[in-house]
Amino acid sequence: MRIVVLILLLLASTSLALVQTPVQPETESAYVCPMHPDFTLDIEGKCSRCGMALVRAAPYDVRDYRLDFATVPAVVKPGQKATFRLNVFHPGTGEQVRRFETVHERQYHLFAIGQDMEYFEHLHPEQRRDGSWSIDVTLPKAGYYKILSDFMPGGGSPQFIARPLVTAGYLGDLAGGSARLIPDTTPAKTVDDVTATVAYDPARFVAGLYGHLNFTLTDARTGRPVTDLQTYLGEFGHMLIMSEDMLHYVHSHPLNLLATADDDGAGAHLMLPAGADLEKLRGGPEVSFDGLMPQPGLYRAWAQFRRNDKIYTFAFTFEVEAP
């Protein structure tokens, strides 16, 4: 009888050990740039690349947070309004995340991109009382879309998470409907009354190395430099870069520190001076972005600027070479 009792006790203790919550790895905190997660400091400060204020986070915990994505109605019809609902959960504890860092005046950035890469939307969901996020979206045509969530959970690391969406009425296949990008043959694009001309630095981008996209904006009607550029979400521009296969993407913002004289930085100035009233501040005609494209291939960049309270979106396609 005693042997049976001992066996039962051993089994019970083994079962308890199996259901115990696993010990989570300790995470080291630091001050990190939300846009350049590889830039960290042990003290408060600003990013030397873009000038953003650093936030306290866990930059070395690179786990993806769990993102639940649903639509109402469940089947999205092109040309009809649908509600996107998003819910974020901690990868270790499984608890819902309710606190998010404000990055460029918003806590949640959302991108909707068509498979052919002709449709692009930069959106900002609103947080609901239950901690989830939602926004109404009308997709223009039947097809496959990629929905990208960009956010920084409080105390966590920057997240960039993709979810697929296929609308009703889509009869194609994923391979046949994929983008077939062609590099631009001209550096200038015009949208309404603004022309954006891009110069790549270096002239040929190499995978795994930082490159710069330097824009010069002119008035399409007069040809004069645009000097009345307004800030958009706290910056003089926003950019998303995506690979042709829609697997690699970079969310970039303008470099705040610009060298206007010597290459060694003499004469450099800040596009966004500390303490400036961003609504009254005006900029242009030059705006520079940086990006690190991880793999060779074709990429499309969507650059967004604000002028006269209107958002202008320019699409540029370029090639990234192998190292």
Distant-in-sequence, close-in-space partners of 119: CB < 8 Å, separation ≥ 6: 112, 113, 139, 140, 141, 145
- Mean pLDDT of the 317-321 span: 98
Q: How far apart are CA 198 and CA 202, in angstroms?
A: 12
Q: How far apart are CA 114 and CA 143, in angstroms?
A: 7
Q: How far apart are CA 323 and CA 310, in angstroms?
A: 39
What tens digit of pLDDT does each residue of 149-171 get? 999 999 888 999 999 999 999 98
C-beta separation of 158 from 37 below 8 A = yes
Query: In order of start, what are the domains of the chain with their CATH numbers?
Result: 63-166 (2.60.40.1930), 188-321 (2.60.40.3340)
pLDDT at 47: 72
Judged by average pLDDT, the poorest of 183-197, 228-242, 254-268 is 254-268
Per-residue pLDDT band for 196 (boundaries 50, 70, 90) equals: very high
- What type of residue is 298? L
Q: How far apart are CA 147 and CA 167, in angstroms?
A: 12
Share of the chain above pLDDT 70, in %: 78
Q: How far apart are CA 193 and CA 220, in angstroms?
A: 5
- Asked whether residue 117 carries a pLDDT value surpassing 90, the answer given is yes
Please tell me which residue, 282 or 55, carries the higher pLDDT value: 282
Model pTM score: 0.80
On average, the pLDDT of the chain sits at 85
Q: Do strands 144-151 and 108-114 pair parallel, antiparallel, or not at all (unpaired)?
A: antiparallel
- Asked whether residue 4 carries a pLDDT value surpassing 60, the answer given is no
CA dihedral 58, 61, 63, 64 (to 10 degrees): 20
pLDDT at 218: 98
pLDDT at 237: 96
- Asked whether residue 275 carries a pLDDT value surpassing 80, the answer given is no
